[in-house]
């Protein structure tokens, strides 16, 4: 991708990136086709966490399908939102993501015809944007220059599109590879099958943001669980 396609920050393709202070984050994920569960989980989460990830699945990228993104327009909430677009051509979902006040949008590269156009449009709209690598997608599918222009790199530890799957240790190798490219200049997220054991392994491999579903929501006390998870990655 030509350097001109990337967002202009305090760096250029020919200059050395300066490390930034990367904060470790625990982010609960909401993946459901039930509008009632969606609303309940969003309200529960905003009481204990500053950010949640909404998994958006269109039934095309995966046979699974989540609630309509427009439901967010009908819910008053105060939590920051990551949208994980597991949809055909995520570029066509950027305006809708902007309308629901998403703080950061992450698209699956396997569902994109052109990564560069997705990024161009997101940057033009003034959005924070990330790219997600599915479980079997090699790190090399994204060039180093593109990695360094992102607000987030998301490594999937399960196949994207379904919850409740088992964590794949292969994700650790991919996190390390991405870390060798971006260093401390771009946050690395990991999503899928995380628990209190492998979350530490992901941290040691270089991950910064940890997206959790089942382990978070099945806790008796969500606030206590959030604090325990934060201690594990701090």
Q: Which two tokens stand for residue 137?
A: 């997608």
- Say what the pLDDT of residue 13 is: 36
pLDDT per residue as tens, the chain (234 positions): 443 445 534 333 333 445 566 889 999 999 999 999 999 999 999 999 999 999 999 988 878 899 988 888 889 899 999 999 999 999 999 999 999 999 999 999 999 999 999 999 999 999 999 999 999 999 999 999 999 999 999 999 999 877 778 899 999 999 999 999 999 999 999 999 999 999 999 999 999 999 999 999 999 999 999 999 999 999
Angle subtended at Cα 108 by Cα 228 and Cα 229, rounded to the nearest 5 degrees: 0
Decide if 17 contacts 148 (C-beta within 8 A). yes
Whose tokens are 């379904």? That residue is 162
Q: Which two tokens stand for residue 154?
A: 């998301």
Domains and CATH numbers, the chain: 21-233 (3.20.20.70)
- Say what the pLDDT of residue 143 is: 94
This prediction has a pTM of 0.91
Q: Which two tokens stand for residue 169?
A: 């240790």
- Say what the pLDDT of residue 160 is: 86
- Say what the pLDDT of residue 61 is: 87
The span from the CA of 186 to the CA of 65, in Å, is 30
User: Which runs of consecutive H residues, i.e. helices, occur in the chain?
Assistant: 35-46, 94-99, 115-124, 144-147, 170-182, 198-205, 214-217, 222-233
Whose tokens are 């910064």? That residue is 208
- Say what the pLDDT of residue 1 is: 43
- Say what the pLDDT of residue 9 is: 43
């Amino acid at each position: 991708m030509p350097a001109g396609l990337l967002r202009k920050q305090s760096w250029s393709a020919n200059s050395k990136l300066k490390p930034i202070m990367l904060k470790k984050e625990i982010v609960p994920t909401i993946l459901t086709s039930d509008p009632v569960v969606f609303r309940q989980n969003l309200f529960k989460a905003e009481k204990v966490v500053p950010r949640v990830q909404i998994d958006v699945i269109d039934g095309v990228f995966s046979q699974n399908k989540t609630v309509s993104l427009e439901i967010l327009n009908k819910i008053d909430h105060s939590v920051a939102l990551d949208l994980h677009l597991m949809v055909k051509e995520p570029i066509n979902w950027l305006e809708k993501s902007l309308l629901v006040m998403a703080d950061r949008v992450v698209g699956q590269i396997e569902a994109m015809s052109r990564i560069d156009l997705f990024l161009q449009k997101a940057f033009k709209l003034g959005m924070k944007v990330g790219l997600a690598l599915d479980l079997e997608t090699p790190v090399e599918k994204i060039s180093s220059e593109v990695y360094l222009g992102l607000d987030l790199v998301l490594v999937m530890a399960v196949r994207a599109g379904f919850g409740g799957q088992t964590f794949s240790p292969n994700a650790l190798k991919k996190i390390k590879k991405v870390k060798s490219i971006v260093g401390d200049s771009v946050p690395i997220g990991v999503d899928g099958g995380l628990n209190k054991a492998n979350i530490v392994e992901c941290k040691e491999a270089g991950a910064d943001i940890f997206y959790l579903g089942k382990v978070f929501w099945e806790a008796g006390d969500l606030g206590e669980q959030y604090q325990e998870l934060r201690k594990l990655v701090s």
